[in-house]
């Protein structure tokens, strides 16, 4: 089974066929495609993932020796240094939406270079053909799901990759597609490349197979075809937040408010003391709220006034400032579920300090650093602070800060870890 999965991941790397124009196929390409059709049905028969991300760079292609990757349940972000020494980012929604039938009409529609896509640009959609299915990837998939009042599918759940082979291929297509853009379009590899990606931690409210997830990601990175040597490592996503945001000695509490989990790390002098995650984060809010408005996760195709995808979009407009109450029922439900999530996470931090008193003991006050898409709504930081203020804490809080770039902070922290040689 593992050899089979290795084969799937190795063959999942998409070819970027479009930048400004579609490259013409060659006789050799035709022969390769015909040969592929005769091989095992688990292979992707057509690679048609187009320019991943919305990033266009007119500068010189810098030598890339370090890469940080935030492989989140909802979004994948790659960070690297440009030729000016500044950090650059590539990102893509970590999701997919399959067409029930692969027809020539659907293929032509997706391949149309003149159609305006979800990011406002004219280009072909980002998609792959897996066996007899057409699978749209990333932001394009999210747009299709939203327009159909359907649910965006994810190759990851609860902070880890799901076990089905389709998810592995989708995750591999996106990760390797972004790596290919870094190496061949925006930068270039020269010799060894140190890469650090992030994971969540062991859960305090359920089971999370982090070891399995790490093995899959390792295979995806190892399966990326390059003449350079990629030296990979990983750290907790909340650890990465402290590395990026703390301006002192690398000490703080990092909280990554993700889609699948909320991950927490206590970090002293740049090293992790302990970490945990709480299963049930942004995705949990989306699903729970949608269920209160007719959505049935057992029958996701059944029509309902709200779906997790529509709630996720509404969630970004919510104002969580204490004392403000949304005027609509959906907004109110979102706010109440945020309160439940924040309470659980703060209680977990307090319990963790008490259980690891000797290692986590800090004489001075400690800062709390937060990032992640679920922390994006207005007023979120004030709502978290209010919960800490009403709690009996075994430590003194210095300040509570949310990153100005909550979607990119973890990737930046992973980039720093790759530069400094920090790992688990």
Domain holding 351, by residue range, is 242-402
For residue 415, being part of any structural domain is answered with no
| Together in a domain, 93 and 224 | yes
> Does residue 182 share a domain with residue 72?
yes
Instruction: Clarify whether residues 210 and 170 are in a common domain.
Output: yes
The pLDDT value recorded for residue 418 is: 97
Per-residue confidence (pLDDT) for residue 223, from 0 to 100: 94
What is the predicted pLDDT for the residue at 158?
A: 85
The total of other beta-carbon atoms located within 10 Å of residue 28's CB is 8
Q: Are residues 198 and 259 in the same domain?
A: no
CATH of the domain at 10: 3.30.420.40
The residue whose two tokens read 């403000």 is 324
Answer yes or no: is 416 within a domain. no
Q: Is residue 147 located within the same domain as residue 289?
A: no
Shared-domain flag, residues 232 and 170: yes
Number of domains in the chain: 2
* Among the listed residues 12, 2, 4, 42, the one whose alpha carbon sits nearest the alpha carbon of residue 224: 12
Claim to verify: residue 254 and residue 275 sit in the same structural domain: yes
C-alpha triplet 90, 92, 94: angle, nearest 5°: 140
Give me the pLDDT at residue 2, please: 46
Do 143 and 199 share a domain, yes or no?
yes
Alpha-carbon 260 to chain mean position: 9
Are 230 and 247 found together in one domain? Answer: no
pLDDT at 14: 40
Instruction: Determine, yes or no, domain membership for 407.
Output: no
Q: Is residue 414 part of a domain?
A: no
Of 237, 258, 289, the position where a domain reaches its end is: 237
Do 229 and 251 belong together in one domain? Answer: no
189/125 same-domain check: yes
Residues 182 and 287 in one domain: no
How many whole angstroms separate alpha carbon 363 and alpha carbon 114?
61
Tokens at 112, concatenated: 């149309």
Give pTM, 2 decimals: 0.81
Contacts 24+ apart (CB under 8 A), 285-291: 285/311, 285/315, 285/334, 285/337, 285/338, 285/341, 285/374, 286/311, 286/312, 286/315, 288/333, 288/337, 289/330, 289/333, 289/334, 289/337
Going by C-alpha positions, the residue among 292, 213, 206, 201 that lies closest to residue 255 is 201
- Using the 3D structure, point to which of 237, 257, 292 is the last residue of a domain: 237
Please, what are the averages of pLDDT over each run of 10 residues along the chain (424 residues)? 44 35 34 35 28 48 93 93 88 90 88 85 86 88 85 89 86 93 90 96 84 94 95 97 94 94 93 90 94 90 88 92 94 96 92 74 87 94 96 92 93 96 82
**Residue 148: its pLDDT value, please?**
81
Structural domain contains residue 418: no
Element (H, E) at 215: helix 210-222
């Amino acid at each position: 089974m593992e050899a089979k999965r290795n084969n799937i991941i190795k063959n999942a790397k998409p070819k970027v066929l479009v930048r400004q124009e579609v490259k013409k196929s060659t006789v050799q390409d035709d022969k390769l495609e015909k040969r592929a059709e005769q091989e095992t049905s688990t292979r992707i028969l057509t690679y048609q993932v187009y320019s991943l991300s919305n990033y266009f760079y007119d500068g010189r292609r810098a030598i890339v020796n370090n890469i940080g990757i935030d492989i989140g349940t909802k979004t994948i972000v790659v960070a690297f240094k440009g030729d000016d020494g500044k950090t650059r980012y590539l990102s893509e929604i970590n999701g997919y939406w399959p067409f029930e039938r692969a027809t020539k009409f659907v293929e032509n529609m997706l391949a149309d270079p003149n159609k305006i896509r979800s990011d406002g640009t004219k280009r072909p959609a980002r998609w792959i053909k897996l066996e007899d299915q057409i699978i749209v990837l990333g932001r394009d998939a999210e747009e299709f799901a939203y327009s159909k009042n359907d649910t965006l599918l994810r190759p990851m759940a609860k902070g880890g990759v799901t076990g089905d082979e389709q998810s592995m291929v989708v995750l591999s297509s996106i990760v390797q597609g972004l790596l290919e853009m870094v190496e061949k379009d925006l930068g270039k590899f020269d010799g060894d490349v140190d890469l650090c990606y992030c994971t969540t931690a062991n859960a305090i409210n359920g089971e999370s197979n982090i070891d399995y997830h790490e093995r899959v990601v390792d295979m995806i990175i190892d399966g990326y075809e390059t003449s350079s040597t990629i030296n990979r490592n990983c750290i907790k996503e909340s650890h990465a937040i402290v590395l990026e945001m703390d301006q002192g000695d690398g000490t703080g509490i990092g909280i990554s408010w993700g889609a699948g989990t909320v991950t927490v790390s206590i970090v002293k002098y740049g090293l992790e003391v302990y970490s945990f995650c709480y299963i049930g984060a942004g995705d949990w809010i989306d699903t729970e709220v949608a269920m209160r408005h007719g959505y049935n996760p057992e029958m996701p195709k059944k029509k309902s006034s709200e779906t997790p995808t529509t709630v996720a979009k509404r969630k970004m407009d919510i104002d969580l400032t204490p004392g403000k109450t949304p005027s609509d029922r959906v907004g109110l439900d979102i706010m109440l579920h945020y309160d439940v999530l924040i309470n659980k996470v703060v209680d977990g931090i307090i319990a963790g300090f008490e259980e690891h008193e000797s290692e986590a003991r800090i004489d001075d006050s400690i800062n709390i650093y937060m990032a992640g898409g679920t922390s994006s709504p207005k007023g979120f930081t004030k709502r978290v602070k209010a919960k800490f203020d009403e709690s009996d804490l075994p430590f003194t809080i210095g300040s509570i800060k949310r990153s100005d770039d909550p979607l990119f902070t973890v990737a930046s922290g992973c980039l720093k870890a790759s530069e400094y040689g920090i790992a688990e």
